[in-house]
Amino acid sequence: MEYKATREAYGKALCELGKKDSSVVVLDADLSGSTKSKEFKKLFPDRFFNMGIAESNMVGVSAGLALSGLKPYASSFAVFITGRAFEIVRQSVCYQNLHVVLCGSHSGVSVGEDGGSHQAVSDIALMRSLPNMKVIVPSDYNETYMAVLATFDMEGPVYIRTSRAKSPIITNKDKFEFGRADVLKEGKDITVVACGMMVSISLEAAQLLRNSGIDAEVINASSIKPLDEETLVSSVRKTGRVVTVEEHSIIGGLGGAVCELLSKENPVPVERIGLNDVFGESGSKEDLFCKYGFTKEAVAERVKKFLNG
Amino acid sequence: MEDFRQLEHIAREIRKDILLMLNRARSGHSGGSLSVVDILVALYFGGILTYDPKNPDWEDRDRVVLSKGHACPAWYAVLSRAGFFERELLWTLRKLGSPLQGHPDARKLPGVDASTGSLGNGITQAVGIALAARVLKKRYKVFCIMGDGELQEGVVWEAFMSAAHYNLSNLIVIIDYNGLQIDGKVMDVMGIAPLKDKLEAFGFRTFEIGGHVYKNLIDTLITAKRNVISPTAIIARTVKGYGVSFMANRAEYHGVPPSDEELKKALEELGNGV
- The domain locations on chain B are 4-270
**pLDDT tops 50 at residue B274:** no
Query: B94 vs A123, B18, B91, B105, B221, CA distance in Å?
Result: 33, 13, 9, 12, 31
Q: Which CATH superfamily is domain B4-270 in?
A: Thiamin diphosphate (ThDP)-binding fold, Pyr/PP domains (3.40.50.970)
- On the CB side of A170, CA atoms within 13 Å amount to 24
In angstroms, rounded to a whole number, what is the distance separating the alpha carbons of residues B41 and B82?
Answer: 10
Catalytically active residues of A, by annotation = 55
Return the number of CB contacts < 8 Å for A and B.
101
ipTM: 0.96
pLDDT band at A309 (very low <50, low <70, confident <90, very high): confident
A18 burial (CB, 10 Å; 0-12 / 13-18 / 19+) is: buried
Q: Would you say residue B16 has pLDDT above 50?
A: yes
- For chain A, the first-to-last Cα distance in angstroms comes to 35
| Residue B97 pLDDT exceeds 50 | yes
Q: Give the model confidence (pLDDT) of B181-195 as tens digits.
A: 999 999 999 999 999
Q: Round to whole Å and give the CA distance between B171 and A119.
A: 37
Of A57, A66, A88, the CB nearest to B162: A57
User: Do residues A201 and A177 touch, judged by C-beta distance below 8 A?
Assistant: no
- All residues of chain A having their beta carbon less than 8 Å from the beta carbon of residue B133 are 68
Give the model's pLDDT for residue B2: 62
Q: In chain B, what percentage of residues exceed pLDDT 70?
A: 98
Q: Is pLDDT at B74 greater than 60 in this prediction?
A: yes
Q: How many helices (H) and strands (E) does chain B have?
A: 9, 7
**Chain segment A159-189, per-residue pLDDT in tens:** 999 999 999 999 999 999 999 999 999 999 9
pLDDT tens per residue across span B114-169 = 999 999 999 999 999 999 999 999 999 999 999 999 999 999 999 999 999 999 99
Q: Which residues of B touch A46 (CB under 8 A)?
A: 135
Min Cα–Cα distance to chain B from A73, Å? 13
Mark B107-121 as b/e (b = at least 16 C-beta within 10 Å).
Answer: eebbbbbbbbbbbbb
| Average pLDDT over chain A, rounded to an integer | 98
Q: Which one of A23, A49, A68, A93 would you mutate to disrupt binding with B, by most B Cβ within 10 Å of its Cβ?
A: A68
How far is it, in rounded angstroms, from Cα B143 to Cα B65? 6
Q: Which residue of B has its CA nearest to A69?
A: B132
Is the bond preceding A226 in cis, omega lying within 30 degrees of 0? yes
Query: How is domain A182-304 classified at the CATH fold level?
Result: Rossmann fold (3.40.50)
Whether B124 and A60 lie within 8 Å, measured CB to CB = yes
Q: Which residues in chain A are classed under CATH 3.40.50.920?
A: 182-304
For A3-168, give the CATH class. alpha beta
Cβ within 8 Å, pair B125-A63: yes
List chain B residues with CB under 8 Å of A57.
Answer: 124, 127, 155, 158-159, 161-162
